Amino acid sequence: MAATADETEEHTDAPGSVSVPRRRGQGRIALAVSVFGELLITAGLVLGLFVVYSLWWTNVVADRTAHKQADKVRDSWAAEEDTGPGALDTKKGIGFLHVPAMKNGEVLVEKGTSSKVLNDGVAGYYVDPVKAALPTTGKEGNFSLAAHRDGHGAKFHNIDKVRKGDPIVFETKDKWYVYKVYAVLPETSKYNVKVLGAVPKESGKKKAGHYITLTTCTPVYTSRYRYVVWGELERVEKVDSERTPPKELR
C-alpha cells in the first residue's frame, strides 16, 4: 500500500542523492520517548532529594534541636533549680538515656511520644494509651519509651544491635538507673499496647518490678510494626560531684 502524504515526506541529503521516505509517526514516537525519559530523570531527582531530606537533613535539624535542649537541661542541673528535670511537669526533659549497644550517645528523654516531641531528636516516655512509670518516683512499673528509627535524629536506629544482657542506663540530676536487657521482641503490631504494661507479660515477666521498655518502628524505613526491647532495673547509683558514669558506660 502506498503511503499517504501525511505519513511520509521526501528527504534529500544532497543533489543527485536518492530520496528516502521518512515516516513522521516515527519522529513523534522518538519525541515522546525522549520527553518521557526526561520526566523519569526529573522524578528520580525529586525522589532522591526527598530521601536526602528525610534521612539526612531531618537528622541534622533534629540533632541541633536536641543538643540545645540537652544543654538547657544540664545548665538547669548545674544551677540546682528545684523545677529542673525529674519533675513531672517539666518541659525541658527528665534525663538522658544511654544505650551503649546503639552507639548513639546520650539521648534526651522528654514527656510524650507524639511526632511533635520525637521529631526533635529525643526519646519520649508514654503518657497515652499507657502511662509510663518514671523511675524517679521509686514506684514499681514500666518506664516505657519511644524514639524514631529513621530520620529526625534516628535515636533508636540501631535498636536491633541490642542483645540480652546489654546495659541500659538512665541518667537524672541525682541518680544513675542501671537496667539490664532481658528480652527482645523483633516484631509486633503497632497496636500491641500490652508490651507497655506495668508488668510486661509478653516479655516473660509475671510479677511487678522496675522495668524499662524501648520501642520503635520496624522494619527499617517503615512504620508497619514495632520493635521492642525490655530491661529490668539492677541497681541505682548516686551521682557524685564529678558525675562519674557507671562502669557500664566507661
On whether residue 109 sits in a domain, the answer given is yes
Gyration radius of the chain over CA positions: 29
Partners of residue 231 on adjacent β-strands: 181, 212
Give the three-class secondary structure for 15: coil
On whether residue 21 sits in a domain, the answer given is no
On whether residue 190 sits in a domain, the answer given is yes
Spell 115-126 as b/e; 16+ CB within 10 A means b. eebbbbbbbbbb
Q: CA 95, CA 91: separation in Å to the nearest integer?
A: 11
On whether residue 13 sits in a domain, the answer given is no
Is 217 one of the annotated active-site residues of the chain?
yes
| Beta-carbon-side half-sphere exposure of residue 88 (alpha carbons within 13 Å) | 8
Q: Whole-structure pTM over 0.95, yes or no?
A: no
- Reported as a single tens digit per residue, the pLDDT across 32-67 is 666 666 666 665 555 554 454 456 778 888 889 999
Let me know how long the chain is. 250
Range(s) of the domain holding residue 164: 53-249
The closest of 61, 65, 86 to 76, measured between CA atoms, is 86
On whether residue 7 sits in a domain, the answer given is no
- Reported as a single tens digit per residue, the pLDDT across 118-156 is 999 999 999 999 999 999 999 999 999 999 999 989 999
The set of long-range contacts for 200-205, using a CB threshold of 8 Å and a minimum separation of 24, is: 200/142, 200/230, 203/228, 203/230, 205/230, 205/232
pLDDT at 138: 95
On whether residue 29 sits in a domain, the answer given is no
- The one-letter code for the residue type at 138 is G
Point out the catalytic residue in the list 217, 228, 229, 233.
Answer: 217
Flag the least confident range among 58-72, 82-96, 138-152, 182-196. Answer: 82-96
Number of structural domains the chain divides into: 1
Q: Domain of 106: which CATH number? A: 2.40.260.10
On whether residue 38 sits in a domain, the answer given is no
What residues have CB less than 8 Å from 27, skipping those under 6 apart?
A: none
- Backbone φ and ψ of 123, nearest 5°: -100, 145
On whether residue 40 sits in a domain, the answer given is no
- Reported as a single tens digit per residue, the pLDDT across 197-247 is 999 999 999 999 999 999 999 999 899 999 999 999 999 999 999 999 999
